[in-house]
Amino acid sequence: MPVGLDFFKDYIGVSGSSDDVQLQQFLDAAWATFTNEIGRDLDQRTYPAASDYARGDSGYYSGSGSRAIFLKNRPVIADGLTVYLDNSGRFGQNPDGAFASATLLTYGTDYVLRLDGCLPGTTTPCSYSGMLERVGTVWPMRSQYTPGQLLLQPIEGLGNIKVSYIAGFPTLPMDVRSAVCQLAAYIRRSADKGVPVNSESLGGYSYSVGQQSASGAIPELGGVRSTMLRYKGVHI
């Protein structure tokens, strides 16, 4: 779990370990919600790989006749990056074989990674856009006959690009950790009643719930959504 339980407990001012199991569940739920919403992983790992909560990356892409393809997870570093181009690759499912060693492209000669920043707190160049750009040509499409057309028509490549790469943050940025903790804290307060509780009383038990805006939004979660949107786009 990229956001540690101790960090979350410090964030909400909880000491002791009696509620650790439940707090960890709230934290896991918040992290799952955050990564599902932005649609990608943020903690650093090597792809192709599954994800804990987001989609992960199978490592297969299809050429579209453009100079660039964009990797699913970011930021990407150049170390460990390998790219194969096999126009009969079929997502690695060609029974006659796919992505043989001869289809391996050369970094800097056949393609480049668009380096546009550094990993936070380091001098390690990385690509926040995740853009792989072909040198002197494009990522090829394929052709097929279309009913009503006399000539072959270009269509998207059929899993003709295979990529392995390292992406994500070695240490999650503070705004992400803070947003996940804020969301987990909200889930914690909402757990019993389904909404956050402002106050409770004992005599003739009663409670009051947190207020929402006229649009139904939870005001305190505005910062969480803002952070989600920042990491959801191509550039962060």
Each domain of the chain, given as residue ranges in start order, spans 5-42+172-232, 58-167
pLDDT above 80 for 20: yes
- % of the chain with per-residue pLDDT over 90: 66
Contacts 24+ apart (CB under 8 A), 146-155: 154/65
For residue 214, name the pLDDT band (cuts at 50, 70, 90). Answer: very low
Residue-wise pLDDT tens digits, 51-66: 888 889 999 999 999 9
Least confident stretch, 14-18, 91-95, 163-167: 14-18
CA–CA gap between residue 53 and residue 55 (Å, rounded): 7
CA–CA gap between residue 229 and residue 78 (Å, rounded): 26
